Amino acid sequence: MRVAIAGGGLAGLSCAKYLVDAGHTPIVLESRDVLGGLVAAWKDEDGDWYETGLHAFFGAYPNMLQLMGELDILDRLQWKEHALIFNQPEKPETYSYFSVPDIPAPFHIVASILKNNDMLTWEQKIRFAIGLWPGVLRGQKYVEDMDKYSLREWLERQGVGERVTSDIFIAAAKALTFINPEDVSATIILTALNKFLQQRYGSKIAFLDGAPPERLCQPIVDHILANGGQVHLKKPLKQILLNEDKTVRGFLVRGLDGAPDEVITADRYVSALPVDVMKVLMPQPWKELPFFQKLEGLEGVPVINLHLWFDRKLTDIDHLLFSRSDLLSVYADMSNTCKTYADPDRSMLEIVLAPAKDWIDQSDEAIIAATLKELERLFPHHLTGEDPAKLRKYKVVKTPRSTYLASPGRQAYRPSQETPIDNFYLSAAYTMQQYLGSMEGAILSGKLTAQAITNAPVTTAPEPPRLVTTP
């Protein structure tokens, strides 16, 4: 079967990979000159990489790990010490560790909370643990039902104190969804927490050893090409052409650089586009169908990814850090965490700025000035005083509409991969799958779409085995 797939992000590539594995011929049509979508990256004039997003991989990503295992590239993940690390704004340049011991789940997470004395008092720890328990004991149905509450509302109902919300959950909500606890659905954070609580290595974090288009997307493309599939760059879907019965007749692809438009025909068609693009390209006759009307309830959330190259080392921590700053979310010194970006003498901080709603339209200069102000509070010894570290250069990557905005009530709007149109499917992290708006969600959605097309039984990967910490 020929399957035309619009969108060369992780969902589109994963869908194509599992289709060639099942003996079919996918044709991936990506609008840009780079693959990866939200994991896309570019080289600057000095040959340094900059990315759409700082990406952390988790032990609780079975489908990503399975796919990387199938491509024999698992060694490209650099596993870090099993811990979540928070900045302590009131004690600059000190860090609070939730170190997770290598003991069975869920005791590993409970122990990591009990052992942390910097951020939580004993009363807070107990209220925190009791508050979280229903999410664990009552299963995914309970977690899904909590989509009616914001995280803040849910924490209040559970009696988890304001201090825990402000110290831990603001950072968690910003890191996972780029919005604050009062704006994010409780389901999102409970889903992530449950995976961490239920899986021994679920919260273990890895970084890819280089830029995702080269180190993750390219091996998927190589596999697709080697097995008879096609992947085309600079092929933007312009229009979904329909037959009288509303099924798809072809994908009209816009011709670039003076080339004429062309029609690509296939046996099946997949949109692996961002939800905002899919809404724009929605054919008029489909707008009457409740299935497609639901997409109106979804939209991408703004986020900004920053890269700051300094003239010296600011930290030697080789891990993801939760900044606990108003403006910034998670960050990492990529000169420590990522082999391709390694520099023994100079730091490159990659930082997610979130929530970004009030910043997305501001100039790069204004964004960097505000970021440096916040960094002065995190690294006063290095960034203030007589001989502060100098910023050598920076890159700001703005994504006005990234993953879907995970506000309360969104679960009801997330569509299945199968649609009411016989020969048309959806694939993307925003479609319904249990891993939310993440790389794992994108990979799983692509796999589910391929399984729906080939009528294969739906299988998701089991929990991965013990993960190796990179020395």
Ligand X SMILES: Cc1cc2nc3c(=O)[nH]c(=O)nc-3n(C[C@H](O)[C@H](O)[C@H](O)COP(=O)(O)OP(=O)(O)OC[C@H]3O[C@@H](n4cnc5c(N)ncnc54)[C@H](O)[C@@H]3O)c2cc1C
Quick check: 30 binds ligand X (CB under 6 A)? Answer: yes
CB nearer to ligand X: give 4 or 143.
Answer: 4
Minimum gap (Å) between residue 188 Cβ and ligand X: 13
Task: Show the site string, 360-399: x = touches ligand X by CB under 6 A, - = not.
Answer: ---------------------------------------x
Whichever of 120 and 183 has its CB closer to ligand X, that residue is: 183
Q: Does 277 bind ligand X (CB under 6 A)?
A: yes
* In contact, 57 and 206? CB cutoff 8 Å: yes
Q: Does 351 bind ligand X (CB under 6 A)?
A: no
Helix runs in 178-286, H state only: 186-198, 212, 218-226, 275-281
> Is the preceding omega at residue 302 within 30 degrees of 0, hence cis?
no
Cβ distance to ligand X smaller for residue 20 or 303 = 303
Question: Quick check: 188 binds ligand X (CB under 6 A)?
Answer: no
Is 192 an interacting residue with respect to ligand X (CB under 6 A)? Answer: no
* CB closer to ligand X out of 105 and 426: 426
Contact (Cβ atoms closer than 8 angstroms) between residue 36 and residue 208: no
Smallest separation (angstroms) from ligand X to the CB of 294: 17
Q: Could you write out the three-class secondary structure of 126-191?
A: HHHHHHHHHHHHCHHHHHHHHHHCEHHHHHHHCCCCHHHHHHHHHHHHHHHHCCCCCCCEHHHHHH
Tell me whether residue 77 or residue 389 sits nearer to ligand X (CB atom): 77
- Contact pick of 6, 85, 264, 349 for ligand X (by CB under 6 A): 6
- Measure the CA–CA gap between 173 and 185, rounded to whole angstroms: 9
In the complex, least distance from residue 380 CB atom to ligand X, rounded to whole angstroms: 27
Residue 31's CB is within 10 A of a number of other CB atoms, namely 19
Which of these ranges, 51-59, 134-142, 368-376, 449-457, lies near ligand X under the rule CB under 6 A? 51-59
Options 3, 5, 20, 56; binder of ligand X; rule CB under 6 A: 56
Structural tokens at position 157: 């109902």
| Piece in contact with ligand X (CB under 6 A), picked from 97-105, 108-116, 163-171, 437-445 | 437-445
27: β partners: 4, 230
Binder of ligand X out of 3, 5, 9, 132 (CB under 6 A): 9
Omega within 30 of 0 (cis) for the link into 213:
no
In angstroms, the CA 223 to CA 394 distance is 35
Q: Indicate whether 31 belongs to the interface with ligand X (CB under 6 A).
A: yes
Measure the CA–CA gap between 222 and 142, rounded to whole angstroms: 42
Q: How far is the CB of 84 from ligand X (least distance, A)?
A: 13
C-beta of 192: minimal distance to ligand X in Å? 10
Tokens coding 336: 């420590």
Find all residues with CB under 8 Å of 354, minimum gap 6, and list them.
174, 178, 179, 303, 304, 328, 329
Nearer to ligand X, 349 or 352 (CB): 352
7 near ligand X, judged by CB under 6 A = yes
Q: Does 355 bind ligand X (CB under 6 A)?
A: no
Closer CB to ligand X, 237 or 378, in the complex: 237
Name which of residues 67 to 126 contact ligand X (CB under 6 A): none
Residues 405, 188: Cα–Cα separation, whole Å: 11
**Considering beta carbons, is residue 295 or 429 the nearer one to ligand X?**
429
Distance of closest approach, residue 388 Cβ to ligand X, in angstroms: 27
Task: State both tokens at 219.
Answer: 């091996």
Token pair in block for residue 315: 């930290």
Both tokens of 228, joined, read 């008879």
Q: Is 437 in the site for ligand X (CB under 6 A)?
A: yes
User: Closest approach of Cβ 329 to ligand X, in Å?
Assistant: 9
* Spatial contact of 89 and 378, defined as CB atoms under 8 Å apart: yes
> Among 17, 24, 55, 80, which residue interacts with ligand X (rule: CB under 6 A)?
55
3-state SS, residue 382 = helix
3-state SS, residue 31: coil
Choices 23-31, 75-83, 147-155, 161-169; region in contact with ligand X by CB under 6 A = 23-31
Beta-sheet pairing, 205-208 with 57-58:
antiparallel
CB of 224 to ligand X, least distance (A): 15
Smallest gap from Cβ 310 to ligand X, in A, equals: 21
Query: Where does this chain bind ligand X (CB under 6 A)?
Result: 6-12, 29-32, 37-39, 52-56, 236-237, 272-274, 277, 303, 305, 352, 399, 402-403, 428-429, 437-442
